[in-house]
């Protein structure tokens, strides 16, 4: 039996749950507290700080520790027969490459700035181990005050969102690759959702600050907002976010 170590609100775990549910992999869901990880997780993982999601099959020792690997493996297993709506397996090579690029930008630059937009105060420490990224992507970052730091992070996220918006505004393109959903949509959806849900700081927010970030998101990215709503309301997403969700169970014969 496969076990998915997961955390309900983790965007990496969400996208894996979506893919595992879609591709009908029977699995047990083990919800983890990130604050007190069980010893078995530490035993499984070679990482200094184990992360979720992890997919493990105790009987065989099969282990995947990266969400991208889990999604890809689930879709490709058994010659792709579970990828029934062709999210990945039957894509053209250029579409696969594009999907990989989208995912890598999402997990890299976008996630980096999303964290800073969401939690600016957590990242102002001069000893931030991620400061090297700050230099890579934003040489001015450390010289900004908190509001400027947050706005700067938001603007950087919006560069990525603008690409998605452009894709979705093409004719007949309800999804990033066109008419049909694909792995790219699923890989980034939970992160775009986090961006759209960031709440304004309680103090000092002015009209100029927009005050209402959600309205700002909807106004600037109308096609992306519609796309996000479609995914948020999808049966798949609602299923994997259900507090009682315990993994895909095959229908009774």
Ligand X SMILES: N[C@@H](CCC(=O)N[C@@H](CS)C(=O)NCC(=O)O)C(=O)O
Q: Work out how close the CB of 72 gets to ligand X at its nearest, in angstroms, rounded to a whole number.
A: 11
Q: Give the contact letters, 22-41, x = binds to ligand X (CB under 6 A), - = no.
A: ------------x-------
Tokens read off for 157: 């996220």
Q: Is 12 in the site for ligand X (CB under 6 A)?
A: yes
Stretch that binds ligand X, among 64-72, 88-96, 113-121, 212-220 (CB under 6 A): 64-72
Instruction: List residues bridging with 30 in a β-sheet.
Output: 5
- Which residues lie below 8 Å from residue 146, measured CB to CB, with a gap of 6+? 120, 121, 124
Tokens read off for 104: 């890598």
Q: Is 221 in the site for ligand X (CB under 6 A)?
A: no
Q: Is 103 in the site for ligand X (CB under 6 A)?
A: no
CB of 2 within 8 A of CB of 29?
no
Nearest 5 degrees, angle CA 38-CA 62-CA 37?
A: 10
Of residues 31, 40, 66, 128, which one binds ligand X by CB under 6 A?
Answer: 66
Tokens read off for 44: 């499984």
- Which residues lie below 8 Å from residue 124, measured CB to CB, with a gap of 6+? 146, 149
> What ranges make up the beta strands (E) of the chain?
2-6, 27-31, 54-57, 62-64
Q: Work out how close the CB of 114 gets to ligand X at its nearest, in angstroms, rounded to a whole number.
A: 11
Q: Is 67 in the site for ligand X (CB under 6 A)?
A: yes
Q: Is 190 in the site for ligand X (CB under 6 A)?
A: no
Residue list 40-59, contact with ligand X (CB under 6 A)? 49, 51-53
Residue list 117-176, contact with ligand X (CB under 6 A)? none
Q: Is 183 in the site for ligand X (CB under 6 A)?
A: no
Residues at the site binding ligand X, with contacts judged by CB under 6 A? 7, 10, 12, 34, 49, 51-53, 66-68
């Amino acid at each position: 039996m496969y076990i998915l170590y997961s955390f309900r609100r983790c965007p990496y775990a969400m996208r894996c749950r979506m893919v595992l549910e879609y591709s009908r992999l029977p699995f047990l869901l083990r919800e983890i507290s990130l604050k007190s990880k069980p010893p078995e997780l530490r035993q499984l993982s070679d990482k200094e700080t184990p992360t979720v999601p992890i997919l493990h099959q105790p009987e065989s020792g099969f282990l995947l520790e990266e969400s991208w690997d889990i999604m890809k493996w689930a879709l490709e297993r058994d010659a792709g027969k579970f990828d029934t709506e062709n999210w990945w397996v039957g894509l053209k090579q250029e579409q696969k490459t594009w999907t990989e690029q989208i995912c890598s930008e999402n997990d890299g630059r976008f996630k980096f700035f999303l964290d800073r937009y969401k939690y600016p105060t957590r990242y102002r420490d001069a000893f931030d181990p991620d400061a090297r990224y700050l230099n890579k992507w934003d040489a001015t970052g450390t010289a900004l005050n908190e509001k400027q730091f947050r706005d700067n992070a938001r603007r950087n996220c919006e560069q990525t969102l603008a690409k998605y918006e452009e894709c979705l505004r093409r004719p007949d393109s309800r999804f990033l690759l066109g008419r049909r959903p694909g792995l790219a949509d699923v890989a980034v959806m939970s992160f775009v959702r986090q961006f759209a849900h960031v709440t304004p700081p309680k103090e000092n927010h002015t009209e100029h600050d927009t005050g209402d970030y959600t309205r700002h998101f909807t106004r600037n990215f109308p096609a992306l907002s519609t796309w996000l709503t479609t995914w948020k309301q999808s049966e798949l997403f609602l299923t994997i976010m259900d507090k009682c969700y315990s993994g895909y169970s095959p229908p009774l014969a």
